[in-house]
């Protein structure tokens, strides 16, 4: 009898230990309003549910599937599924899934996806960040922001205002400024690239106007900003220029600078603009001095060209509107900064 009782006690002990070692079924679903008013109460930060739904704010350890909150979700571990919150998501460890928030996403690291209305923050390496305002990360495969991207290293950065990085393997596209130590393909009007090429020069055009032009960029692409003077209605007017270019090397001293630009003239009582595609043959007189000369194809409402005014490729005119596609020419001398 004593032996039987001992065996029974041992069996009950093993069974009880096994049962309590298993995660309760209720832990697979976490429902609530705000922590600790939920099905998991004060233990919410220790569980990893497959599905969590909180009316306002929720806390879990890991997210294995989907976690949705009206305002805010916090994970003490990592995200391996989908996080969706009306305002913000905060992941203490890694984001390996998708994190979507109306305002802000934060994570320590993880090659996941962050999508926020305002800002994404990640301390370590990541995969994709998309935000309405700004992104910040150590490394990101792709950053897309309405205003600013910041990364130590990135493959592609796209921003409405500015990109900042130490090294960019692919393309930087900004509405205004790109800044990097190394970036061969920046696309913006002003590109401050440490290992790139920056030039300032004087450029003249076939309509007898002239600009001081700043070219800034990487080894391949560059931005163009110019300011100068032109003639319009028999008076001198302000002339401005902006565009992008691509360098095509032919030899150590010779290359083609392919450019797409827009040139505007104004005296603040009228405004006239010209769009041009031009191919400038550049020759390095010295490592720091380059002379350029080449043709262009221009769009005009009407042509002021001193060389090609009567040689239209195509033109249209009626009582209210005139438009012409014509040839042009550009020459300049440029100095490395």
177 vs 163: CA distance, rounded Å: 7
C-beta atoms surrounding 216 within 10 Å = 23
- Omega before 36 within 30 of 0, i.e. cis: yes
Kindly report, as residue ranges, where domains of CATH 2.40.160 are found in the chain.
Answer: 197-336
Q: What is the dihedral of CA 257, 262, 267, 269, to 10 degrees?
A: 170
CB 114 within 8 A of CB 107: yes
The DSSP 8-state label assigned to residue 233 in this structure reads: T
Is 197-336 in CATH node 2.40.160? yes
274 closest CA partner among 235, 324, 224, 332: 324
Q: What pLDDT does 126 receive? A: 83
141 closest CA partner among 168, 175, 177: 168
The DSSP 8-state label assigned to residue 319 in this structure reads: S
Higher pLDDT, 207 or 100: 100
Q: What is the dihedral of CA 117, 123, 125, 126, to 10 degrees?
A: -20
Confidence band (pLDDT; 50, 70, 90) for 28?
confident
Q: 235-286 pLDDT, tens per residue?
A: 899 999 999 999 999 999 999 999 999 999 998 888 888 899 999 999 999 9
Instruction: Label residues 230-250 b or e (16+ Cβ within 10 Å = b).
Output: bebeeeebebbbebbbebeee
Backbone φ and ψ of 39, nearest 5°: -65, -20
Q: What pLDDT does 1 receive? A: 45
107 vs 114: CA distance, rounded Å: 9
The pLDDT of 197-205, averaged and rounded, is: 96
Residue 304 has pLDDT above 80, yes or no: no
């Amino acid at each position: 009898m004593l032996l039987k009782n001992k065996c029974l006690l041992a069996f009950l002990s093993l069974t009880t230990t096994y049962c309590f070692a298993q995660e309760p079924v209720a832990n697979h679903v976490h429902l609530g309003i705000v922590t600790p008013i939920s099905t998991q109460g004060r233990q919410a930060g220790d569980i990893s549910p497959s599905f969590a739904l909180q009316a306002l704010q929720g806390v879990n350890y890991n997210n294995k599937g989907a976690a949705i909150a009206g305002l805010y979700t916090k994970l003490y571990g990592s995200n391996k599924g989908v996080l969706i919150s009306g305002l913000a998501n905060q992941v203490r460890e890694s984001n390996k899934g998708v994190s979507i928030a109306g305002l802000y996403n934060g994570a320590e690291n993880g090659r996941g996806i962050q999508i926020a209305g305002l800002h994404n923050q990640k301390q370590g390496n990541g995969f994709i960040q998309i935000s309405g305002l700004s992104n910040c990360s150590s490394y990101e495969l792709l950053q897309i922001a309405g205003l600013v991207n910041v990364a130590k290293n990135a493959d592609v950065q796209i921003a409405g205002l500015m990109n900042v990085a130490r090294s960019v393997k692919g393309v930087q596209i900004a509405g205004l400024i790109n800044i990097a130590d190394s970036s061969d393909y920046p696309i913006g009007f002003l590109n401050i690239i440490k290992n790139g090429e920056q030039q300032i020069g004087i450029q003249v055009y076939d309509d007898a106007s002239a600009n001081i032009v700043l070219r800034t960029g990487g080894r391949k692409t560059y931005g163009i900003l110019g300011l100068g003077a032109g003639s319009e209605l028999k008076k001198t007017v302000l002339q401005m220029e902006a565009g992008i270019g691509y360098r095509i090397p032919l030899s150590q001293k010779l290359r083609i600078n392919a450019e797409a630009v827009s040139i505007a003239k104004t005296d603040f009582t009228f405004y006239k603009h010209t769009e041009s595609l031009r191919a400038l043959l550049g020759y390095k007189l010295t490592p720091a001095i380059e002379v350029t000369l080449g043709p262009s194809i221009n769009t005009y409402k009407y042509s002021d060209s001193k060389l090609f005014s009567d040689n239209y490729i195509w033109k249209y005119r009626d009582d209210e509107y005139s438009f012409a596609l014509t040839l042009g020419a550009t020459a300049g001398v440029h100095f490395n900064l």
